[in-house]
Chain A
Amino acid sequence: MKITEELMPCLQGAIPSQIVTVNEDNIPNTTIISQVFPADDEHVAISNQFFSKTFQNLQNNKKACVQVFDPSDLSFWTLDLEMVRIEDEGDLFDEMSMQLEAIASMSGMEDVFVLKSAYILKVLNFHHVTEAMDL
């Protein structure tokens, strides 16, 4: 599904997002990730630093769900995702890597916070959470 313009403010990493994945026994796991990056019209990317359970889960079950926050109107959106590939080089990886490096270096943690890889996920569907509640 195409990512629309109204979703863009949520994908700047202003507020950390939550991601949910499931393991082989369908037990859900949720964690906080600092940014869901827009990769292209139909894909987003998340950074693999050390959320080992999330990434372990994604090896088994490629489906994931994230909730992102729009700071301009304080509303939430949920995105249904499916992992398509892992990147450890290229423009997108470099940009995500630089973002992490910049933030980490502000606290002298540039050696600890290193981007291992970028997980590219296809956007299957998205909902504005307030609308979903109305239904």
Chain B
Amino acid sequence: MSNQQPVDNREEIKSQIVENEKIIHQLNSQLVRRTSEINIIQSISDEIINSLDLDKIFSRSMELLDSVFGFNHSMILLKKENEDALTVVASIGYDDKGIGAEVKFGQGTIGVVAKNKRILRMSGILSKRRYISKQSNNEDRKLPGLPNADSQIAIPLIVHQRLIGVYSVESEQINAYKAIDEIILNLVAKQIATAIDNAKAYETQRKLTEMYSRFVPMEIMKLVGYDSILQARLADQSEREVTILFVDIRNFTGISEKMSPEQNFQFLNSYLSFLAPTIINNKGFIDKYIGDAIMAIFPENPGDALSAGLEMRKKLDLFNKLHVEEDLEEIRIGIGIHTGKLMVGIIGFDNRMEGTVIGDSVNTASRIEGLTKEYNCCILASESTVTGCDNKEKFNFKFMDEVQVKGKEQKIKVYSVS
């Protein structure tokens, strides 16, 4: 009895050592797995955080979570603007992708997560639903996702305490997710939320810039040497030789008196929509609208402005034809074109700035346009435009006069163009 005791002890110690080694081995392999998981999370983060393409952010994050962690049914929902509801924007692992399906706040796991802005891990959904269904006559709500999901984790996507969406994973298995899955998804969700927010901010910025460029011609910005409106500073300027075109409706005052203010606007917008494309089609841009007049700039060859003038006349014929059918008065226009040096720059004061062109040449072009009445012709161009024109053979020039333009010492030769 007495000498058996140490043997037992030895056996016990031996088995204890074996047991300990097993545990150490297990812990080591767990550590290796965790390290590789963390590396993968890091690489997902790097990839999606640097993307400004929403679709790419959605698809890459879901693919990686599927292949690495086995989250094979997942979907991303984004909050609708000014509404307590979400819409499915991307999904993986479903026969029917369900894009566009809606979930109201408070409905199902996803809706409850959105409402409470808290992660939720659910197990045994089916048996719990059966339990509740017994107490109710209501039909089960149709929500996007697996019809017989038994486990689900939904995570709120939050940026600066603002809910932007919900990420959901689900499984038909009963206890599919553990606490560690919650931690992994939480980490990834933070990155996805930031990436989505960045991409959205970028998109908004792009739209704003585009909208803004309708009010301030980007071409002016380019002439001053900017790539974006954001660079604009007061008093930035550059001197350029450009061709300026003024086009004005001759008898507009008479016509407009016969119309209501609303009809006036409709008439003007319709007229401008006929004429404006001729400018853009000939490498010019609209600097500003002055009532019924358009001031356009052609930064390249003076011939561009002449071509635009001729096209305008054709367009006007078409416009008049339509208007005569509607019993409206026919309109006549005058076009004045002049080439000269101009300052292109930003004027204004602090919160109201404008990109514009200034200089004598603008006045000259405007005065020449006024002369079309006197000489009873549609298009008048100054000598500098005619001589600077690269493709003279395309036009017929007729010398009209040498005129003293108001406010100018030198006389200017003007030609009618057809």
What is the interface of chain A, defined by CB distance below 8 A to chain B?
A: 8-9, 12-16, 32, 34-35, 71-72, 94-95, 98-99, 101-110, 112-113
A72 to B123, CA, bound (A): 13
Distance of A45 Cα from B367 Cα, bound (Å): 88
**With contact pairs A15-B127, A103-B125, A106-B129 given, residues A71 and B135 touching in the complex (Cβ less than 8 Å):** no
Given A98-B116, A98-B118, are A14 and B124 neighbors across the interface (CB < 8 Å)? yes
Cβ contact within 8 Å between A104 and B120: no
B105-131 to A contact mask, C-beta < 8 Å, 1/0: 011110111001010101111011101
A113 to B118, CA, bound (A): 20
* Most chain A beta-carbon neighbours within 10 Å: one of B112, B113, B140, B174: B112
Interface residue? B132 (CB, 8 A): yes
Q: Are the CB atoms of B175 and A71 closer together than 8 Å?
A: yes
**CB within 8 Å of A: which of B68-108?**
106-108
- The answer for the CA separation of A108 and B132 in the assembled complex, in Å, is 10
Residues from chain A with Cβ under 8 Å of B112 in the complex: 98, 101-102, 105
Q: Which residues of B sit under 8 angstroms from A110, Cβ to Cβ?
A: 106
Known: A13-B124, A98-B120, A101-B112. A106 touches B141 (CB 8 A): yes
Name 11 extra pairs, CB < 8 A, besides A94-B116, A103-B129, A106-B140. A15-B174, A16-B131, A34-B124, A98-B113, A99-B122, A102-B111, A102-B112, A107-B141, A108-B139, A109-B135, A112-B136
- B127 & A107 in contact (Cβ 8 Å cutoff): no
Check B111–A105 contact: CB distance below 8 A.
yes
Partner of A99, one of B120, B133, B178: B120
**Count of A-B contacts with CB under 8 A?**
94
Instruction: Give complex CA distance A110, B112 in Å.
Output: 10
A104–B132 CB distance below 8 A: yes
- Chain B interface: which size bin? 20 to 34
> In the complex, A13 Cα to B120 Cα: how many Å?
13
Shortest Cβ gap from A22 to chain B (Å): 24
B253 at the interface (CB under 8 A from A): no
Are A102 and B135 in contact, CB atoms less than 8 angstroms apart? Answer: no
Flag if A106 contacts B108 (CB, 8 Å). yes
CB distance from A106 to the nearest CB of B (A): 5
The 4 closest A-B pairs by CB, nearest first: A14-B124, A12-B123, A108-B138, A102-B112
Flag if B108 contacts A102 (CB, 8 Å): yes
In the complex, the chain B residue whose C-beta lies closest to that of A33 is B131
B123 and A107: CB pair below 8 A?
no
Nearest neighbor of B121 in chain A, beta-carbon distance: A12
Do the beta carbons of B140 and A107 come within 8 Å of each other? Answer: yes
Is B143 engaged at the interface, CB distance under 8 Å to the other chain? yes
* A9 to B140 Cα, complex, angstroms: 27
CB contacts under 8 Å to A, within B133-163, are 133, 135-136, 138-141, 143, 150
A109 touches B127 (CB 8 A): no
- Which residues of chain A have C-beta atoms less than 8 A from B139's C-beta? 107-108
Q: CA separation between A95 and B112, bound complex, in Å? A: 11
Q: Are A94 and B118 in contact (CB under 8 A)?
A: yes
A-B contact pairs, 19 of them (CB 8 A): A14-B123, A14-B175, A16-B131, A71-B174, A94-B116, A95-B120, A98-B120, A102-B112, A102-B122, A105-B111, A106-B107, A106-B125, A106-B129, A106-B143, A107-B132, A107-B136, A107-B138, A107-B139, A109-B132
Contacts known (A12-B123, A106-B143, A107-B141); A34 close to B106, Cβ less than 8 A? no
If A72-B175, A106-B143 touch, whether A101 touches B106 (CB-CB below 8 Å) is: yes
**Contact (Cβ within 8 A) A105 B120:** no
**Cβ–Cβ contact B132 & A9, under 8 A:** no
A94 partner residues in chain B, CB cutoff 8 A: 116, 118
- State A107–B132 Cα separation when bound (angstroms): 8
Interface centre among A34, A71, A106 (most CB of B within 10 A): A106
The 8 Å CB contact of B128, one of A13, A95, A98, A108, is: A13
Once the chains bind, are B118 and A107 in contact (CB under 8 Å)? no
Residues of chain B contacted by A102 (CB below 8 angstroms): 108-109, 111-113, 120, 122
Q: Which residues of B contact A71 (CB under 8 A)?
A: 124, 174-175
- Please give, as numbers and ranges, the residues of chain A lying within 8 Å of B127 by CB-CB distance: 14-16, 34
Interfacial chain B residues near A106, Cβ < 8 Å: 107-108, 125, 129, 132, 140-141, 143
Residues of A within 8 A of B111 (CB): 102, 105
A96 to B191, CA, bound (A): 27
Indicate if the CB atoms of A34 and B128 lie closer than 8 Å: yes
B129: chain A residues at CB < 8 Å are 103, 106-107
Bound state CA distance, A109 and B127, in angstroms?
A: 16
B290 to chain A, nearest CB (A): 60
B175 CB contacts on chain A under 8 angstroms: 9, 12, 14, 71-72
Query: Smallest distance from the beta carbon of A105 to chain B beta carbons, Å?
Result: 5
With a cutoff of 8 Å between Cβ atoms, the chain A residues found around residue B128 in the complex are 13, 16, 34-35, 103
- Closest B residue to A97 by beta carbon equals B116
CA distance A110 to B108 in the complex (A): 10
List of B residues within 8 angstroms of A14 by Cβ = 123-124, 127, 150, 174-175
Flag if A34 contacts B131 (CB, 8 Å).
Answer: yes
Answer whether A105 and B141 are a contact pair too, CB < 8 Å, given A14-B174, A34-B128, A113-B132.
yes
